[in-house]
Amino acid sequence: MGRYVQVEPNVKVYVEDIGEGTPVLFLHGWPVNYKMFEYQLNVLPKHGIRTIAMDFRGYGLSDKPSTGYDYDRMADDVRAVIDDLGLTDAVLAGFSMGGAIAAHYMARHQGHGISKLALLSAAAPVFTQREGYPYGLTPEELNEQIIEPIFEDRAKLLDTFGGMFFAKEHSKPFMNWFHALGMEASSYGTISSAMALRDEDLRGELETIQVPTAIFHGKKDEICPFEFAEQMHQAIPSAELVVFEESGHGAFYDELEKYNAELIRFIQS
């Protein structure tokens, strides 16, 4: 069932909450929304897993304010959802940008309510290159390839981005559906979140994560290169690395059966 959670006086976020059992809170990536987890929401509740997925502010069915797209505020929104739902001993599962925000949540809120962490193709520890971190796009390339095109033709940019998302070829109706998820976001939220991806740096925070952590990452990821996963694996003391050899960024669909099986294993272990 769906509900709204007040995260600021004038901002509510949407939460889908299905099933009973061990609670798992999914955080979506840029620039889509909770519906990207459709193929997990269909399966996990049948295995005694309470499957919860939220839309970040600016995305999907949530309110779309003009501000609040830095990692601090987004992590605080996650805290508001966890508190509103009364979650304890939950699994926090973040994909791409959502993975970075999940990792930041663990540091900023000392893992409040969370007993396990799943970092799914996470945009961490840093999404763009900087001194001592030669992975991913440079900040200038991100501006040129992602942020500036949003001002010119957001639909085309999302089509290009979607074309990089998967390593396998999927049906045109599926790709059209996935593109439509990105178009449900606010344009200004999409831009502000891209700026956060460019600027935020979680190095130094990952070492503080103490809960069991699973890093799911596609070997063919063109958006968050596999080196990201190796960096996270080195930094997080409790981490295991689950490699999807045939997957790109969208391992959740490129290798759907393995992905769901590994998720269930990790959640129930």
Given 28, 104, 217, 249, the catalytic residue:
249
115 is catalytic: no
d(CA 164, CA 35): 19
Given 55, 63, 77, 221, the catalytic residue:
221
d(CA 216, CA 154): 29
Given 96, 121, 193, 247, the catalytic residue:
96
153 is catalytic: no
Reading the block at residue 35, the tokens are 């519906």
Quote the Cα angle for 131-228-234, to 5°: 90
221 is catalytic: yes
What are the start-end ranges of the H helices in the chain? 38-41, 71-85, 97-108, 139-142, 148-165, 172-183, 187-199, 226-235, 251-254, 256-268
For the chain, helix (H) and strand (E) counts, in that order, are 10, 8
Catalytic residues: 96, 221, 249
